[in-house]
């Protein structure tokens, strides 16, 4: 009887599909971010208190900085804003290339922190949400841990049990039935996000996308055991050696080719907006979000990304 019960329990957990070996196709480091990504000077789709600037403005105001193996993007941290004027200057990058089946590894030393901040590293297809969205790194107001999320149109759900180390926050990926919450998985370790991440010297995020699954890993820089191909940014990677991901999204009840189009990589920092603003007070932040952003430029001294590199494999 016990053996039968154990078999049934294991059978309910969706086992992860095996990965593969991938070769390096794009290596973004230092100034190559400037040619491989475009600065999107657009209105923030998430209604944040930011003003996304073009590349020339970002470089002139030191909101984008590239040198050697350092690439930094940040929010303005010197200007008091007029309540009737535009939001705080910030940066939103989108890769020039689109990717389908691939692995992307992000070597990040520092991520934006502070009340009102909403940093994200993600991938998105055309005609959102029908082309899909994969959030790799995302959170708000310094609240750990990191959350990886899929956002799609109708007809994409995830199984309730699957082989991953993270905590499920939702299994319906349809933005229309979840108020855009999507199907999320929280990483198991607090150092995966915010001040704890920065105090540990950052780490590596990695995503693998195929036609049958999407996986997301996080490797803490202070914890031994990061796969050598990840840590060294090798010319090829073998995801079979990376262990169980913290987020595993199988195609059990989701046809990936019809829900996930070729995708651009996006890196951005917004402030307040639909998520960070909505939970600002509940997260223990002072006053109201927009006023805080307007009146406290020095609060954004640490609101920056520092990338050692981003590598894409196919």
Question: What is the SS3 assignment for 110?
Answer: strand
Q: Are 266 and 122 in contact (CB under 8 A)?
A: yes
Pull the structure tokens for residue 239: 């995801």
Is 208 noted as a catalytic residue in this protein?
Answer: no
**Which residues face 149 on adjacent strands?**
135, 184
Residue 123 known to be catalytic: no
Burial class (CB in 10 A: 0-12, 13-18, 19+), 146: buried
Measured in whole angstroms, the distance separating CA 115 from the mean position of its chain's CA atoms is 18
Looking at the chain, how many residues does it have? 314
CA distance 216 to 167: 13
**Whether residue 107 has a cis bond before it, omega within 30° of 0:** no
Q: Return the residue matching tokens 């079979």.
A: 240
Q: One of 123, 138, 208, 244 is an active-site residue; which one?
A: 138
Please identify which of the residues 133, 208, 222, 244 carries the catalytic annotation. 133
Tokens standing for residue 182: 């999507």
Active-site annotation, residues: 133, 138
């Amino acid at each position: 009887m016990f053996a039968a019960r154990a078999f049934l329990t294991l059978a309910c957990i969706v086992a992860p599909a095996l990965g593969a070996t991938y070769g390096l196709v794009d290596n973004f480091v230092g100034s190559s971010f400037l040619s491989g990504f475009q600065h999107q000077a657009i209105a923030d789709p998430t209604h944040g208190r930011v003003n996304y600037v073009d590349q020339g403005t970002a470089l002139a105001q030191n909101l984008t900085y590239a040198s050697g193996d350092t690439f930094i993007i940040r929010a303005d941290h010197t200007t008091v804003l007029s309540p009737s004027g535009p939001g705080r200057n910030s940066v939103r990058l989108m890769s020039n290339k689109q990717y389908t089946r691939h692995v992307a590894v992000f070597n990040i030393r520092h991520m934006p922190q502070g009340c009102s901040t909403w940093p994200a590293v993600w991938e998105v297809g055309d005609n959102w949400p029908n082309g899909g969205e994969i959030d790799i790194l995302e959170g708000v107001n310094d609240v750990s841990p990191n959350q990886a999320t899929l956002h799609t149109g109708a007809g994409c759900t995830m199984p309730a049990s699957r082989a991953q180390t993270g905590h499920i926050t939702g299994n319906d990926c349809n933005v229309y039935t979840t108020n855009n919450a999507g199907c999320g998985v929280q990483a198991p370790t607090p150092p995966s996000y915010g001040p704890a991440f920065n105090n540990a010297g950052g780490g590596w995020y990695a995503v693998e996308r195929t036609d049958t699954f999407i996986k997301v890993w996080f490797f803490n820089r202070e914890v031994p055991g990061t796969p050598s191909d990840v840590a060294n940014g090798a010319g090829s990677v073998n995801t079979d050696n990376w262990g169980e991901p913290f987020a595993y999204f199988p195609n059990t009840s989701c046809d990936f080719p019809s829900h996930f189009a070729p995708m651009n990589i996006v890196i951005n920092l917004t402030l307040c907006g639909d998520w960070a603003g909505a939970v600002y007070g509940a997260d223990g932040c002072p006053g109201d979000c927009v006023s805080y952003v307007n009146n406290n430029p020095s609060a954004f001294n640490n609101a920056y990304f520092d990338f050692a590199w981003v590598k894409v494999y196919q």
